[in-house]
Amino acid sequence: MDENIQILEKKVERSVFAGNRAAAAKELGKTGDSYAVPILLRALEDSSPKVKTAASEALGIINDPNAVLGLINMLVDPESSVKKTAIIALGKIGTPEAVSGIVKGFSDSDKFVQKESVKALMIIGSSEAVSGLTTVFSCSDSSLKKISIMALGKINTYEAACGLLKALEDPDNRIRQQAVEILGKRGNSDVLTNLMEMMDDSRQPVKEAASETLRKIIGVSEAVPVLVQALDSSDRNIRKASIDALWKVGTPEAVSVLLREIDDEDWYLRSRAADALADIASPEAALGLVKALDIPDSPMRKIIINALGKIGTAEAALGLVKALDDADNSVREAAALGLGKTGKKEAIPGLLKALHDPKITVQEAAAASLGDIKAKEAVPELLKVLEDPDALIHKAVISALEKIGTPEAVSGLARALENPDSSVRKAASKALKKVEKSGIALEKVKNLGTSSFEVSE
């Protein structure tokens, strides 16, 4: 044994003054020598709390597992300072046996001892420490549960997260909510499967807590596999949260998953996925939506068409042209209107064909979209329709010609002032006045023989 240790041993065991004994115990700890452990264990039996505290601190510094039993015995000491120091020392040693001792601190009447026990287990962070923290959820002390939840959140392992899941089963809503918040901030998806299993719990508060936790985790996750797994949930809100998260991610991988959701059994979620794809507006999204136009659900085809109209790319326009041949006239109408939103010249041939669709609503939509696109190429065909006495979309054609505004279009509007139908003449007159107010040059139509655009009687 080192001579210095022998000198310190004599001071610890023989000095009259407690302060001297405590100072010698501290010095023994600084040596880090295992020969000091038996001396310090005997010092734990000193009559002075000051000496016992110093000996405990020293044993924690030396960090020898042989000190665990002696330190555990200190947890029944009447002095809180002694118990707290013993727990800190056990936390530094950190063996499974030390953890078992620290857990005993939870039953102490002193809140500070309880708090120190939680802190020690958090520092250790082992699976045994996590298990020890989890035992708290079987007691009735809410304050102890709260600090244990915070500790488990800081450990941030899968085992700790599973411990937090137990808190989701607590009868106290405040405890459940704290666990939800900690798990949500943690953001790790490793407990996703566990949470989805909890969704089948017969206790409604537990189901709600699991659902809220899932949504929080999904909200901060950018890992597509995690979001795909969440789409298997029986909870509609969770599937919606996953779709929204994929929407935010927006990668080709996310687009691929969203396209699969077009077939979701829930109509709202199908619609949500289509909205997401429309907003992402990538070539992959457009091509995928075009392929999805083959699904048998007419309302869903209309939603897809609306999404394609928002995307507005050439690929989207060609898909909408394809939809002009749909068996459902409401789908064809939606496609014609969608083509107007794209503003693409690729839409014009299909819209010209749609001017002669069997359904008037489709014809009107085609005329409106040709006007929106300002399709100069469409003017001759629009004029034919305008001059056809059997056509029933004269007003829609007049509106389109006004928007296009070329001299040829204006000439056609002027000729419509002589139409036998008074409603057509009035519509043409209003359109021409709008053209005149807009400042569009009319020199090329002066040969019309009229200085104003009044309806002929």
Residue 235 covered by a domain: yes
Q: Decide which of 76, 100, 124 is a domain's last residue.
A: 124
Specify whether 1 is located in the same domain as 119.
Answer: yes
Q: 53-90, pLDDT tens digit by residue?
A: 999 999 999 999 999 999 999 999 999 999 999 999 99
- Please give the single-letter amino acid code of residue 206: V
Specify whether 201 is located in the same domain as 119.
Answer: no
Q: What is the pTM of this model?
A: 0.67
Q: How confident is the model at residue 263 (pLDDT cuts 50, 70, 90)?
A: confident
CA–CA distances in Å: residue 70 to residues 34, 102, 258: 15, 13, 61
Q: 172-229, pLDDT tens digit by residue?
A: 999 999 999 999 888 788 898 898 889 888 999 999 999 999 888 888 888 898 899 8
Average pLDDT on 428-433 reads 92
Residue matched to tokens 């006007």: 371
* Structure confidence at residue 1 (pLDDT): 60
Q: Decide which of 280, 309, 333 is a domain's last residue.
A: 280
Q: Decide which of 89, 107, 124 is a domain's last residue.
A: 124
CA–CA distances in Å: residue 180 to residues 161, 220, 253, 435: 11, 14, 29, 62
- Please give the single-letter amino acid code of residue 119: K
Q: Other C-beta atoms within 10 Å of 28: how many?
A: 28
* Structure confidence at residue 154 (pLDDT): 94
Q: Write down the mean pLDDT value for the chain.
A: 91
Domain that holds residue 76: 1-124
- Greatest CA span in the chain, whole angstroms? 130
Indicate if the pLDDT at residue 457 is higher than 60.
Answer: no
Average pLDDT on 137-158 reads 94
* Structure confidence at residue 456 (pLDDT): 47
Residue 147 covered by a domain: no
Contact predicate 48/21, CB 8 Å: yes
- Burial of 101-122, coded b for 16+ CB within 10 Å and e otherwise, reads bbbbbbebeeeebbbbbbbbbb
Overall domain count for the chain = 3
Indicate if the pLDDT at residue 265 is higher than 90.
Answer: no
Closest CA relative to residue 349, chosen from 332, 386, 324: 324
Q: 358-414, pLDDT tens digit by residue?
A: 999 999 999 999 999 999 999 999 999 999 988 899 999 999 999 999 999 999 999
Indicate if the pLDDT at residue 139 is higher than 70.
Answer: yes
Residue 352 covered by a domain: no
Give the Cα separation of 249 and 95 in Å (integer).
Answer: 44
Which phi and psi (to 5°) does residue 390 adopt?
-90, -10
- Burial of 188-201, coded b for 16+ CB within 10 Å and e otherwise, reads ebebbeebbebbee
